[in-house]
Amino acid sequence: MWLSLGLFCFGCTPPASTKSSTAKSDAAAEQEAESRTLRNLQNAIANLQPDKLGIASAPEQAIAVLNEWSKGAKRAADKSGSGWEPTRPHALLKSLPKEWIEQVTLEQFVERDAAFLRDCLWAGQASKFGAGDAESDLDIVLNLFEYVVRNVDLIPFGRRNVPLGPFDVMVLGRGTAQERAWVFAELLRQRNIDSVILTPRRASRDKDDEDHVLVGVLFEKDILLFDPVLGMPLPADVAAPKSALPRLPMTLRQATRDPELLATVAGDSGGRFSLTAALLAASQVELICHTEQLSSRMRHLQTGLVGELSAVVSDPLEDVTDQPGLWSRVARHPAATWSAEDVAIWGFPEAMREGAAHHTDEQTRELAKISASLAAPQRIKLIRGDEVTRTMEMEFTKPERALMKLRMQHVIGHWPDAVQGYLAVQLYDVEPPTVKDFARVSANGKDRQPIAIVSTLDKQNLRLLMMQPPHKHVRDLHLLAGDDACFWVALCQFEQNRLRAVVDQCREYDKWHSNGGWTAANQSLMATALAQQKKLKEAIRALKEFDEEAPSFAGSRVLMARWQRLLESPE
C-alpha cells in the first residue's frame, strides 16, 4: 500500500530539479522579453534623435521598431495585471472633426509620429540649454522665450505656404508669430509649464489681426503675457523700465485692469500694436495641443520614457487618477478670467502636423527653395580643358549638405562645433571648395593632371572661373550658404554669452551682407547684445535704420522707447 501510494505520488509530482529548471527557464524567457522590449525602445529613440532622423535613419524604420516595443510593453502590462485601458476621448473633442478622435484613440504608431517624437526629443534638450543659467522658474520662462525669438526671425503670416513642425522651423530659422508661439509652448511643456493662446474673439477680430496672438503662461497664481510679434513679454514696467530687456512680464489681470499699460505699448510701437484692455478682457482662450499629445499610444509610450530617455510626449486632456489633465489645469487655473466653457483648442498645431505629413508637390518645391543653402557645398570635381577651343568646363560633385549638418549641431546646442564649421562655409565663395583628387582632365578624358590650389593667385583664378555664367547656380548656392553662416556665427556667439564677439560678427555681416536675408535679424541681435552690455545709445543707433516694412519693426520701436526712458531716468 505504501509502495503504491509512493508510485502514485511519484507519477503526479515532478521532481524538485524539474520544477526549478522550469521556473528558471520561465524567468529567463521573461527577462529576455523585457530586455528585447527595452532594446526596441532604445533603438527607436536613438533613430528619432533630431540629428539622425531623415539623415541617418528613416521614419518608417523607427515607427516599425516602436510598434514592436508597443506589442512587448502591452504583453508585459497584461501579464502584470496593469493592462492598457482604452482612451475615452474628452468631451471637448466632440466639437472637433471626427479625424481628431480617430487619431487620439489610435493605438498603433504611424509615420507622422516620427517627426512629432523627434520634435519632443529636441525640445527636451533645448528646454535645458535654451534656459541658460537661469535658476528661478520665472527666469527660465523668460530665457526660453528670448531664445525662441532670437532664433526664429519673424515672417508675415501667409508668406510661407509650407506646414512645418517646431524643429524644422528652428532649422530654417524663420517663422510666423504662430510658429514662434508654438515652439515656445513646446519648450515650456518639457518643463511642465502650461501655456495658452489668447486672441481677440472671432466676432470682434479684424481680418488684419490674423497675426495678433499672445501666449499666456500659467505661472503659479498669475498668467504672464508674451507677444511673439513684438518678440518680448508685454512689459509691466513699460512706463518706468527696470532693465534693458523686459524681465517683468505683464499679467493678464494687470493688462485688463490698467488700460494705460497696453496703451503705452501701442504708443511705443508706432501704432503697430493694437491690442487693448477691452479686447484682451474678451479674448478667446485656446489650448496648445494636437492629436499626438492627446493620444493613447503616446500615453503608453510616456511610461517607458524614463532616465536618459525622458521627454514629455503625452499631455492628455482628461484627468488621469489623481493627475489633472490639460483641460482641467487651464479651465480651473486660479488666475483664469474665463469660464470652463470658454476653453477651446487651438487648431494651428494640428493643421501644421497634418500638413507636414502630406506636403503637396508645390509645397515640396517651396521647401526645397527656402532650404536650398543647406545643401552646400558643391565641390569642384575636375576642370575639363580643350586646348583647341581654349575652353574650360567645370564638373561638380553632388551637394554635400555640410551646412545642414552644421545647422543641426547649432540647433541641438553644440555651438562651438557649429562656429568652426560656419567659418569655413563663409569662405566657399572666396576659396571655392574642391575634392581631394582635384585635377585637370583633357577633353577626351585621357590625360589627367592633378591640381593643387595653394597660392592666393591659384584661389583668385579659381574664383574667377567660378564666376563664369555656366557656374552661376553653384556660386549662388555658396553665396546663400555664406550669408546664412555669417549670421549664424553671431547667434552661436550669443548663446555662449560672448556679447562683444556678437557685436563684431554682426558688424561683419552688415559689412559683407548688407542686402542679405538676415538684415533685420542681424540688427536686432546686435542691438540686443549692445543693450545687455549697457551700451544703450549704441543699441538705439543699431535700430534707427530698421526697415519699416520688416515684420519685427514694431518690436524694435518698443525697445528703442524703453532704452530712451532708461537713458533719461535719474540714476
| Number of neighbouring beta carbons within 10 Å of residue 239 | 13
What whole-number distance in Å separates Cα of residue 181 and Cα of residue 230? 12
Side chain identity at residue 113, one-letter code: D
329: part of which helix (H) or strand (E)?
Answer: helix 326-331
What whole-number distance in Å separates Cα of residue 99 and Cα of residue 292? 12
Task: Note the Cα 132 to chain centre separation in Å.
Answer: 17
What whole-number distance in Å separates Cα of residue 120 and Cα of residue 178? 18
Length of the chain: 571
What whole-number distance in Å separates Cα of residue 45 and Cα of residue 121? 8
336: part of which helix (H) or strand (E)?
Answer: none
What whole-number distance in Å separates Cα of residue 228 and Cα of residue 184? 9
DSSP 85-126: PPP---GGGGGS-HHHHHHHH--S--THHHHHHHHHHHHHHH
Query: Do the beta carbons of residue 273 and residue 267 sit within 8 Å?
Result: no
Q: Sheet of 222-227: strands edge to edge?
A: 232-233, 222-227, 214-219, 195-200, 283-287, 343-345
Query: Do the beta carbons of residue 216 and residue 195 sit within 8 Å?
Result: yes
Query: Do the beta carbons of residue 37 and residue 73 sit within 8 Å?
Result: yes
Tell me the domain boundaries of the chain: 134-229+273-362, 371-382+396-437+470-568
Give every CB contact of residue 463 below 8 A, 6+ residues apart in sequence: 429, 430, 431, 432
Task: Note the Cα 311 to chain centre separation in Å.
Answer: 15
Q: What is the pLDDT of residues 126-164, one digit of tens each?
A: 999 999 999 999 999 999 999 999 999 999 988 899 999
Angle (deg, nearest 10), helices 472-495 and 499-512: 160
74: helix, coil or strand?
Answer: helix
Question: Which pLDDT does position 447 carry in this prediction?
Answer: 85
Percent share of the chain, pLDDT over 70: 93
Task: Note the Cα 264 to chain centre separation in Å.
Answer: 32
Task: Give the three cell numbers for residue 349.
Answer: 498645431
Of the pLDDT bands very low, low, confident and very high (cuts 50, 70, 90), residue 443 is confident
Nearest to 182 by CA among 271, 91, 293, 269: 293
Task: Give the three cell numbers for residue 177.
Answer: 508669430
394: helix, coil or strand?
Answer: strand
CATH 1.25.40.10 fits 371-382+396-437+470-568, yes or no: yes
Over residues 455-472, the mean pLDDT reads 91
Give every CB contact of residue 236 below 8 A, 6+ residues apart in sequence: 248, 249, 250, 251, 254, 261
- Burial label for 195, CB within 10 Å (0-12, 13-18, 19+), is buried
Query: Do the beta carbons of residue 357 and residue 115 sit within 8 Å?
Result: yes
Q: Which fold has domain 134-229+273-362?
A: C8orf32 fold (3.10.620)
Compare 332 and 9 and report the one with higher pLDDT: 332
Winning range, highest mean pLDDT, from 170-184, 195-209, 378-392 = 170-184
Side chain identity at residue 354, one-letter code: E
Task: Give the three cell numbers for residue 405.
Answer: 549638418
- Beta strand 232-233 pairing with 283-287: unpaired
Mean residue pLDDT across the chain: 91
Per DSSP, helices labelled H in 467-552 are 472-495, 499-512, 519-532, 536-544
| Number of neighbouring beta carbons within 10 Å of residue 377 | 22
What whole-number distance in Å separates Cα of residue 218 and Cα of residue 198? 12
Give every CB contact of residue 267 below 8 A, 6+ residues apart in sequence: none
Over residues 309-332, the mean pLDDT reads 93
Check pLDDT > 90 for residue 192.
yes
Check pLDDT > 80 for residue 560.
yes
Of the pLDDT bands very low, low, confident and very high (cuts 50, 70, 90), residue 345 is very high
Side chain identity at residue 477, one-letter code: L
Per DSSP, helices labelled H in 130-273 are 137-151, 166-172, 177-190, 252-257, 259-268
Check pLDDT > 70 for residue 112.
yes
Over residues 550-558, the mean pLDDT reads 97
Residue appearing with cell numbers 493613447: 296
Beta bridge mates, 382: 395, 439
| Number of neighbouring beta carbons within 10 Å of residue 452 | 8
What whole-number distance in Å separates Cα of residue 553 and Cα of residue 412? 29
Radius of gyration of the chain (CA): 29
Question: Which pLDDT does position 16 carry in this prediction?
Answer: 55
Question: Which pLDDT does position 17 carry in this prediction?
Answer: 58
What contacts 24+ positions apart, CB below 8 Å, involve 299-308? 299/87, 300/70, 300/73, 300/74, 300/84, 300/107, 301/66, 301/70, 303/73, 304/41, 304/69, 304/73, 305/45
Q: Lowest-confidence range among 168-177, 249-258, 337-346?
A: 337-346
Q: What is the pLDDT of residues 473-527, one digit of tens each?
A: 999 999 999 999 999 999 999 999 999 999 999 999 999 999 999 999 999 999 9
